[in-house]
Structure 1
Amino acid sequence: MLPTRLLECRLGRITNFDPSREQAPSEFKYEGSHPFALLLPSIPVRTTEPPRSTLPPEPVDPRTRIVADPDGISAGAAGRPFERVVDYWPERVEMTTPIGGGAVNMIILQPSEAQPGLVDMFMTKATDAVTWDLDALYSGRCKLASGGAAAGAAR
């Protein structure tokens, strides 16, 4: 089983994303510093491929949620259930929450290469996997709490 994971993050809005070319993360400029927290409950380790994005998603544990978004950067996703979660922890986690008008709030988590021991988080409002709201691109790093702290947040 994967343990319950509480990610406590600081995210900044990317202000210079250029969709016409590939950019290194070191090129990005950020605005703001927004606290954000996300809870991933204990689940079995994935042993099969997830359903394709065109097929109905697997059931998502309702304890999976945004725990804190005091600045409202999640485009209204806080308080709404996640529709699709593909959890390959610790390699990668992809999550979407419908936010209306055919859009979703999309979150991607992966280990930080720049700061081992932390988790990189990317979040945006999107209409599909490659059509993002360029005014709502957020990125940052998260500290991982597991065990008692994470279990307490899961209640």
Structure 2
Amino acid sequence: MDVKFQSTVLFVRDVPASRQFYEGLLGMQVVADFGLNVGYTGGLAIWEAEYANQLIYNRPASAGKLGCDNVEVYFEAADLDEVAAQLAEAQVPTAHPIQAQPWGQRVLRVYDPDGYLIEIGEPLDVVVVRFRKEGLSPEAIAETMYMPLEAVQGILQDASA
């Protein structure tokens, strides 16, 4: 099983305020800006709590303190089905089985022994290549995945090399 750690995602109530803290005060560099989700060099990301809670749990964020059911640790695995089977065999409790996210990436979410939410998703380059094999144009892939067209074209070029 080839699973590697990718990112820690912190759910936040106010993305602009969090960006000011992480970028303005701590000097973190943005590597991916999807509006409600911002990724930084080094593996930290922030995600707007209301959107994240609706997407993952199909419920609004609790009005209480953050840090309970709103922090997830993110990993990637190219063979998500193999990982899911191994986790099921080990009887790891799941938040949900493999499902496609709105941008097409397949993910599953499980709980670690302490109840922390762990997400394991396909690498985005795997999703781009899968969409291309399914017949989507680079432009359609970029639109579906909310990615810059240049990034999609670069992934496809690397995959064909």
Give the TM interval when normalised to the shorter protein. Answer: under 0.3
Report the TM-score when normalising by structure 2.
0.27
Report the TM-score when normalising by structure 1.
0.28
Greater helix content: 2
Q: Which structure has the greater CA radius of gyration? A: 2
Greater strand content: 1
> Quick one: higher RCO (CA 8 Å, sep 6+), 1 or 2?
1
